[in-house]
Structure 1
């Protein structure tokens, strides 16, 4: 007889500098691999997580979700006390003790059996950080720009992008996606202290999309192209027409949104 399994979301954050992205790869260390091993040790069964998306080498995440199935029941506030088996806080501490300092597990959330960390996400938000003076403490968390930028023009160009849905020109080629359509709900540059931060939110993103968008907007800011030319780039649907992708170090996945209906208990 098949054992009934419970599904949980795990919320975590990670510094991407020392990882080859989220997704398991051969001959390269990834966040997913480290997390799978730790969960399997603590829960004493083979655990395979499935992430809300995939981040590239060097990209950071201040908020990331994955789901997994387990025969164990995690004790979460408000759950059925008769089924409580594993203390939530102890589980968090145990997993964190095995995954090193570049990853931090925040919490586990009980969800419905069909809940999916990737497909149920309704919105994703990223930030891209620029800094303008040489700073060894920013090297792994931003992109040094030495040019003077026209931020107003960059924001006007960002507004142009929000009027489109096909972002083929900002996607890596040969990706396994059925559509290159995305709906952007926010795209703007904001001065934050001594940094310039690009905020972007959409229902979904294509591979390399944010870094390609930022590279194109920087071309606008430097005066290499006008924000009107952004129309032509988008309509070309050709990656070679858009700007160069900026380094991964400045990119952060910051928020994933889900409908409340998929959760059984909010911890």
Structure 2
């Protein structure tokens, strides 16, 4: 068996997230069907994360294993007729919906892991303030004014904490809610705002809950002391509502063994 990494991007609007689930179309389901068809054998991928329904990714990694050669027969090893994975991008893309695009496929060590091997991830959250048909399902339309400076003051506090239970969905399968946030900030972009956050890992719904809470700072409903109290409470009910999925993008995943 040979392990491969596949880099892709997708518009998550029409999908119920990355991970396969019953009675719903997901990105992983579409990818696995395309890989299995192209390589003429059952293929099951494992992704670098689990994006929710409607969330997008400009960079996403998954790994999968291929049986390259059959067992020995009559003393000789019979090589299976498997298309060259390293030249498979256009072929796999032809089997995928237009909203999902493969960028590259490359060999990795058998122990390489798309989820647990990542050392850093980054997300963007897009906000726009005026009706724009070209941002439908790709950015959140917010009607009102926001104090970006105040939101950035609060966002800078995140790097001083490790337990982000207050921003996580309850009853998840994670063993810890500890994360290391390297940076978090808002900036003006395309007549709107873009929020960037980098961390070693993220909890389910974490980014959308953080943005929802920072929005309350920007609306002057909360101040820095309130924000600190929310984080230190470790209670999800104290934080703000999760903002809509349409504005969220996974934009970067870092591995020490991937260039």
Residue among 17, 31, 46 paired with 1:21: 17
Residue among 227, 232, 246 paired with 1:230: 227
Tell me how large the CA RMSD over aligned residues is: 1.4
Q: Does 1:174 align with 2:167?
A: no
- What's the offset of the Cα at 1:132? 0.6
User: C-alpha separation between the residues in 2 aligned to 1:59 and 1:252?
Assistant: 6
Q: Does 1:117 align with 2:94?
A: no
CA contact (8 A) 2:129 2:192 kept: yes
- What's the offset of the Cα at 1:100? 1.1
User: C-alpha separation between the residues in 2 aligned to 1:27 and 1:109?
Assistant: 32
Counterpart for residue 80 of structure 1: none
User: C-alpha separation between the residues in 2 aligned to 1:93 and 1:160?
Assistant: 44
CA contact (8 A) 1:51 1:117 kept: yes
User: C-alpha separation between the residues in 2 aligned to 1:25 and 1:88?
Assistant: 27
Gaps of 5+ in 2: 70-80
User: C-alpha separation between the residues in 2 aligned to 1:89 and 1:49?
Assistant: 16
Counterpart for residue 103 of structure 1: 100
Q: Does 1:65 align with 2:61?
A: yes
User: C-alpha separation between the residues in 2 aligned to 1:106 and 1:176?
Assistant: 30
Show structure 1 runs of 4+ deviating over 3 A: 84-90
Q: Does 1:162 align with 2:177?
A: no
CA contact (8 A) 2:19 2:29 kept: yes
Q: Paired residues, what number?
A: 248
Identify the range of structure 1 (40-49 vs 189-198) with the bigger mean alpha-carbon deviation.
189-198
Residue among 131, 136, 139 paired with 2:133: 136
- TM-score for both structures, normalised by structure 2: 0.93
SS at match of 2:151: helix
SS at match of 1:146: coil
Render the CA deviation track for 1:79-118: whole Å, top value 9, x for unaligned: xxxxx97445641111101111010000012100100000
SS at match of 1:54: coil
User: C-alpha separation between the residues in 1 aligned to 2:85 and 2:37?
Assistant: 16
- What's the offset of the Cα at 1:193? 2.7
- What's the offset of the Cα at 1:30? 0.3
CA contact (8 A) 1:72 1:85 kept: yes
Counterpart for residue 81 of structure 1: none
